[in-house]
Amino acid sequence: MTPTTSIETYINLGLAITSAGGQLIGKLKGVLDLIRPDHGLTDEQINELEQQTIAEAQKRLAERQSMARPTDPAASGQ
């Protein structure tokens, strides 16, 4: 192994360790964001999410109501 190769090896190793360390810190930050005590929602945020759910349910309800109609025998020729 020439001295140049050895230096490149150490540089590459250093870069790999830095990259892995950065990824690990990023993952740990994600976990901490998930489990931190203030992850809870306020009543206002809960109500806002419920309003969004209700709005979607109302839209889908309107679509489904026409599908629930019994077939008109006269219209279908039965």
Partner 1 sequence: MRQAFTRTAAIVALTVAVACASLSVKQQALAAHQTAHSAIVAIDDFERTVCKPNPPPADNTCSAVPRVLTDDQHQRVSAAIVRAYEADIRVGRAIILWQPGQPAPAALPALQAAVQEVETIVHELAPGSARVDELFARAQALVERVRTLILRFAGGGARP
Task: Enumerate residues 1-40 that contact partner 1 by CB under 8 A.
Answer: 31, 34-37, 39-40
> In the bound complex, what is the minimum distance in angstroms from residue 57's beta carbon to partner 1?
5
Separation of alpha carbons 21 and 24, rounded Å: 5
> In the bound complex, what is the minimum distance in angstroms from residue 16's beta carbon to partner 1?
21
Q: Are 65 and 57 in contact (CB under 8 A)?
A: no
- In the list 2, 3, 5, 64, the residue contacting partner 1 (rule: CB under 8 A) is 64
Between the alpha carbon of residue 23 and those of residues 7, 15, 27, 74, the distances in Å are 24, 12, 6, 67
- Quick one: 8 or 50, whose CB is closer to partner 1? 50
